[in-house]
Structure formats: C-alpha cells, structure tokens
Structure 1
Amino acid sequence: MTDSEKVRSPRAKAGGKRRLLTAAAARVLHEQGVERTTIADIARAAGVPAGNVYYYFKTKDELVEAALAEHAGHLRELTDELDRLPDPRDRLKGLVGAWVSRRDTAARYGCPTGTLAAELDKRDDGGLDLAAGQVVRLLLDWVAGQYRELGDADPEGRALTLVGAYQGMSLLSNALRDPQIMAREGARLIRELDGGPGMT
C-alpha cells in the first residue's frame, strides 16, 4: 500500500459507510414509510452502529433526502441504460418492462418514489415533498423526451399519461396485494406503444 492509498483509506471507508446508509435508507423508508422508520432501523439495515449515523446524517430528514437522491440515481442508471437503445419506442417499452420486473416489490410496498412523495406531502415542512417531486419530474422529462423523438404532438401529455399509468398500477397492485395487476397493465402499455389504440 502506498502512502497516498493509506491517506485515502479512511475517506474511502467513510464514503463506503455513507453509501451503505444511503442505500439502507432508501430500502427501509420504502418498506416502512418515513414516520415508522427510526434512525436505528436504518443503521441496523446498513450494519452500522446507530451512533455512527450522526457522523454522516444529523437528522432523519437528511436520511430521507439521501434516500430520494438514491432513487434519482437508480432512475438515472436505468434511463442511461435504456438510452443505449437506438429506438425511443424500445426505450419506453424497456421502461415499462423494468416497472413490471419489480411487480412483487410494488405489490408489497408500492412505488418507491410515489409512496414517499405521498407521505411527505402530508408533512408541513414544505421541502422534502418538493424533493420527491423532483425525482418524479426527472422521469416525466425523460419519458417526454422519448415521445418528442417519436414526433408525438403532445410529448408532455403522453409522459403524464404513461407515468400516471405506472403510478396507478403500482398503487392498485399494492392496495390489492396483486403483482399481476402490474403484469397485465404493463402488457397493455406495451401493446399501446407497439401501435395499439392511442399511439400516434
């Protein structure tokens, strides 16, 4: 190990713990919700002593923010991967396929960002709910870009319809604990994207 590696090692370890806590926060907050989740729950899920959490995050709200950033990062990874496909229609179908592939999780806990946004909206702080909305906006903007590339006359409206369909099927799948709702609705969305009713 070189001297420079020795110097970087504690920083790398700190970054690793922060990363573990961020990933755990995203998962636990999705599964339990903000109000039911404690900092100790997140520390336990990350395998980090509860006292160490405060070195990285001073409050639970900071952990919620980190969880939202984690969701945004996952979304960017997915859209970056889909952007490698040459056809925007295939990208949109790939997005729907990714939603459907997570149907069991959606049936149990709902959409990670959607459920968090709905819960945060009921709080009076007026900040984290807007941060959740920004993650949804990233998705809407990417979807609108695909419809724009397809030459659709109303790409923003199409994006709202598609993302709204996803939120609706996630909500119903969760409320009825039925992952097949996601599978059936996802298949319908793909048929529409393939040129069925409503596709220009």
Structure 2
Amino acid sequence: MTDSAKPKVRAADKRRRLTAAAAQVLHEQGVERTTLADIARAADVPLGNVYYYYKTKDELVRAALSEHSTHLDELTHSLDELPDPRDRLKALIEVWISSRDVAARYGCPTGTLAVELDKRGDGTLDTEAGAVIQRLVDWTGHQFRALGLPAPDDLAITLVAAYQGMSLLANALRDPSIMTREGTRLLRWLDSLNAPDPTPSRTPL
C-alpha cells in the first residue's frame, strides 16, 4: 500500500467504526439519549473526528439505518444459499430466536428505531427506517411466493408482524423466553402451510 493510500484507508476505517457504533448505541440508548460523544466513545474515535464525517446526529441516525440495511442484506444473502424457501424462513426465525437476549434488553434494532423516529413527526428518517423493514417484508414475501402459497405478501406481513410483536413483548417484560416460545410457534406454523394441489379435481360420473 502506498503512503498516499494510507490516509484514505484510515478514514474509511473510522467511518465504518462510527457507523457500526451508531447502530449499536442508538439501539441500546435510543435517539434522544444518545450523544455524538457516546458514539465517538463506542467507536474509539476522537469526538472532533466525528464532526468531520457526520455534522449532525441525524446524519449518524441515517448511517445507522444504512448499517441495519447492510446487515439485513448480508443475512438474507446467506439465507438465500439454502435451496428450499421454507428452510430459509426457518433459518430466519432461528436467527431471531438466537437474538433473544438482545431483544429482551433492547427490542428489535430497526423496529424500535422506527417507532422512536416516528414520534418526531418530521417524516424523513422514520420513512427510511420503515424502508428497511419493508425490505425484510419483501424478501419474506418472495420466499412464500416461491413456495407457491396463496397470498404470499399477507403471509410475509404476518411473519414480520409476529417478529416485531414478540420482540416488543420480550423487551417490555424483560423475558427472552418469549422469543423462544413464539419463535417455536412460528416454526410450527411454517410447517403447517401447504401449497394448494395443482391437480384439478375430477367430478365423479
């Protein structure tokens, strides 16, 4: 690596660390309680450097949403490697169950952020948070469609809504077992869904 390239690499690393720290700290503390100093501390970056990359807290919130979107894309891309759509959906639910302790402590990263941003009423960042959730709904709907199930988009809403609900309850009650119980119920629900028989019925003579 040339000497001239090193500053660019260091700058990219700082931005990446700040973005990851923003996603984590905003999830744990919420937008209102989080300061730029909190994020700088979590990223191990001098506070003065934060302003070089992000002028306002809103810019860091947008960066955190981008981090959530990237994480979702990485997750769904890895799930897409599974050959069966039902197995992809089951693996998604298993990921949700495995995050039960975090969900019980802080709730869903994107869902809680979307709710908090909506309270501000400015109609910008909350819309971007909703777009991340919509990406999950769209991917989930694609899996149900690949299974040949009727009303795949409705099934996707049912599944994602169940996730948001169990995350909310686990957080409100500080009970990670809710994620396990409800996740197990969703796995059974997936197994119960069957595509309609494509063979036309014959009327007996």
Instruction: Kindly indicate whether residue 111 of structure 2 is the aligned counterpart of residue 114 of structure 1.
Output: yes
* Deviation string, structure 1 residues 58-100 (Cα, Å, up to 9, x no partner): 1000000000000011100100000000000000000000011
Q: Give the superposition deviation at 1:22.
A: 0.3
Instruction: Kindly indicate whether residue 92 of structure 2 is the aligned counterpart of residue 95 of structure 1.
Output: yes
Mean CA deviation greater in 159-168 or 118-127: 118-127
- Report the count of equivalent residues: 195
Aligned equivalent of 1:25, options 22, 27, 40: 22
* Other structure's SS at 1:27 match: helix
Distance in 2 separating the partners of 1:157 and 1:145: 11
Q: Could you tell me the percent identity over the aligned residues?
A: 67
Distance in 1 separating the partners of 2:194 and 2:41: 47
The code of the aligned residue for 2:169 comes to L
Aligned equivalent of 2:62, options 60, 65, 72: 65
Q: What corresponds to 1:104 in structure 2?
A: 101
* Deviation string, structure 1 residues 143-179 (Cα, Å, up to 9, x no partner): 0000000011101100000000000000000000000
Aligned equivalent of 1:48, options 30, 35, 45: 45
For structure 2, the 5+ residue unaligned runs are 196-205
Distance in 1 separating the partners of 2:89 and 2:121: 36
Distance in 2 separating the partners of 1:119 and 1:153: 34
For structure 1, the 5+ residue unaligned runs are none
Q: Alignment RMSD, CA only?
A: 0.9
Alignment of 1:7-18 (within 5 A): 7-18=4-15
In 2, are the aligned partners of 1:57 and 1:63 still within 8 Å (CA)? yes
Q: What corresponds to 1:160 in structure 2?
A: 157
* Other structure's SS at 1:114 match: helix
Instruction: Kindly indicate whether residue 146 of structure 2 is the aligned counterpart of residue 149 of structure 1.
Output: yes
In 2, are the aligned partners of 1:28 and 1:37 still within 8 Å (CA)? yes
Q: Kindly report structure 1 stretches of 4+ aligned residues shifted beyond 4 Å.
A: none
Report which of the two structures shows the higher radius of gyration computed on alpha carbons.
2
Distance in 2 separating the partners of 1:12 and 1:138: 30
